[in-house]
Amino acid sequence: MERRRPELAIAAISLDCADPRELAEFYRKLLGGTLLWDGAEAAAVRAGSVVLIAQRVADHRRPSWPGSSIVHLDLSSDDFDLAEQTAFALECGATRPDRQPDPRWTVLLDPAGHPFCLTPFTPA
């Protein structure tokens, strides 16, 4: 007899960091989100239907790009202009690594070092 699959949904995406307030504020500005909570150990931002949780990890080490990142975010919009989106992300506190694998999108790093891509490609 096959077991019934439980109904599960993604509740949030957690990002390890040294400074939860800094990382949550970065994503709040970048994504136009709403700060849900802000504590010394974790802070959360709702951006559309996604909740990002910045959680403090003792002795956090920044991921290296390319290389040690386990997961990264791909960000896009209906009104996508790569140069404009990149400039805005940099103003919010992102940094741009030297290695860019494809000119059709831009890889940036958040304040904790997590890579994210600004891309015109959105799943149907």
- 87: pLDDT strictly greater than 90: yes
User: CA-CA distance, 12 to 24, in Å (whole number)?
Assistant: 13
Architecture of domain 13-118: Roll (3.10)
User: CA-CA distance, 48 to 32, in Å (whole number)?
Assistant: 9
Neighbours of 8 (CB within 10 A): 6
Higher pLDDT, 25 or 65: 25
User: CA-CA distance, 14 to 10, in Å (whole number)?
Assistant: 11
- 70: pLDDT strictly greater than 80: no
The residues spanned by each domain of the chain are 13-118
- 46: pLDDT strictly greater than 90: yes
User: CA-CA distance, 45 to 38, in Å (whole number)?
Assistant: 9
| pLDDT average, residue stretch 99-103 | 90
